[in-house]
């Protein structure tokens, strides 16, 4: 089962993608995690990606596509995957479709987690991330056990530059301009599934499993 997660930044699609991966025994492929690992290791790709991400801009297609296509070749993706953060533009979606056609496969479901902009800005300003292991928290919805300290590794938590309100507003504009058209793209292919992302985490997940129907 090959699933794509759609929705604005901060809509909660990453959290839902992890739950989907666990439920259906397929890997969660997050471009955000790939980028952050490269940033932490200060690779050349990481430095380039960080420059875009800190400004709330999309990482260019050629950097993103090469990473994702390589990830598909790993053994755990043989029976499918849930994609989170890719594709973000129509050209990326077309490139993905072309690559999948070569393998004789296609996307089975595109799940759109719908959340209004105002709620997203409020959500993201409460997010905190561990600079060491990448774990994420939310001051209201998923707070760490000890304020400012990561539950997993004990390192400090920060408000990432790309979660600050002014950057989130830029990211939402980019989303509406470049990524939101994917909703119609996958609707036309007959694989779009819509869920209300303003509900609680478990309620949203129940909606998703219902629309996947598997």
Cβ neighbours of 16 (radius 10 Å): 24
Q: How far is CA 121 from CA 7, 50, 139, 212, in A?
A: 14, 21, 14, 28
CA distance 209 to 110: 13
Domain assignment of residue 83, yes or no: yes
Give per-residue burial for 80-95: e unless 16+ CB within 10 Å, then b: bbbbbbbbbbeebbeb
Domain that holds residue 10: 2-115+178-212
- Position with higher pLDDT, 153 vs 54: 153
Q: Which of 71, 123, 127, 193 is catalytic?
A: 127
What is the 3-state secondary structure of 41-103? CCCHHHHHHHHHHCCCCCCCHHHHHHHHHHHHCCHHHCCCEEEECCCCCHHHHHHHHHHHHHC
Domain assignment of residue 78, yes or no: yes
- Position with higher pLDDT, 111 vs 61: 111
Domain assignment of residue 84, yes or no: yes
Let me know if 101 is a catalytic residue: no
Residue carrying structure tokens 């260019």 = 60
Report which of 23, 22, 51, 25 is spatially closest to residue 39, judged by C-alpha positions. Answer: 51
Domain assignment of residue 25, yes or no: yes
Q: Which of 88, 123, 128, 193 is catalytic?
A: 88
Confidence (pLDDT) at 176: 92
Do 101 and 110 form a contact (C-beta atoms < 8 A)? no
CA distance 95 to 97: 5
Q: Which of 40, 160, 164, 170 is catalytic?
A: 160
Q: Which of 2, 13, 36, 50 is catalytic?
A: 13
Domain assignment of residue 90, yes or no: yes
Asked whether the predicted pLDDT for residue 154 surpasses 70, the reply is yes
Domain assignment of residue 123, yes or no: no
Cis peptide before 87 (omega within 30 of 0): yes
Domain assignment of residue 94, yes or no: yes
The confidence band for 214, taking pLDDT boundaries of 50, 70 and 90, is: low
Let me know if 23 is a catalytic residue: no
Tens of pLDDT, residue by residue over 190-208, are 999 999 999 988 999 999 9
Helix residue spans in the chain (DSSP H) = 13-24, 31-40, 44-53, 61-72, 90-102, 117-125, 165-174, 181-188, 201-212
Q: Which of 50, 128, 171, 193 is catalytic?
A: 171
Let me know if 128 is a catalytic residue: no
> What's the domain count of the chain?
1
Q: Provide the percentage of residues in the chain whose pLDDT is more than 70.
A: 100
Domain assignment of residue 9, yes or no: yes
Q: Write the CATH number for 17.
A: 3.40.50.300
Query: Rounded to two decimals, what is the model's pTM?
Result: 0.76
Confidence (pLDDT) at 194: 95
Do 208 and 20 form a contact (C-beta atoms < 8 A)? yes
Tens of pLDDT, residue by residue over 65-123, are 777 777 787 799 888 999 998 898 899 999 899 888 888 889 999 999 999 999 998 88
Confidence (pLDDT) at 32: 77
Let me know if 13 is a catalytic residue: yes
Let me know if 71 is a catalytic residue: no
């Amino acid at each position: 089962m090959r699933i794509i997660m759609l929705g604005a930044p901060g809509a909660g699609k990453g959290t839902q993608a992890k739950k989907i991966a666990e439920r259906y025994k397929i890997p969660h492929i997050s471009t955000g995690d790939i980028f952050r690992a490269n940033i932490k290791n200060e690779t050349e790709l990481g430095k380039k990606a960080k420059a875009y991400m800190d400004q709330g801009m999309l990482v260019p297609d050629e950097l993103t596509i090469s990473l994702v296509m390589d990830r598909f070749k790993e053994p755990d993706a043989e029976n499918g995957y849930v994609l989170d953060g890719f594709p973000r533009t129509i050209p990326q979606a077309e490139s993905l479709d072309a690559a999948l056609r070569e393998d004789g496969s296609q996307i089975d479901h595109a799940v759109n987690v719908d959340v209004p902009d105002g709620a997203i800005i409020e959500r993201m300003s409460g997010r905190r991330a561990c600079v060491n292991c990448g774990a994420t928290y939310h001051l209201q919805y998923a707070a760490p056990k000890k304020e400012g300290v990561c539950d997993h590794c004990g390192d400090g938590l920060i408000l990432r530059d790309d979660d600050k309100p002014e950057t989130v507003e830029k990211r939402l504009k980019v989303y509406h301009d470049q990524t939101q058209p994917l909703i119609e793209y996958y609707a036309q292919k007959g694989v779009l599934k819509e869920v209300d992302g303003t509900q609680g985490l478990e309620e949203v997940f129940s909606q998703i499993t219902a629309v996947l129907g598997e």
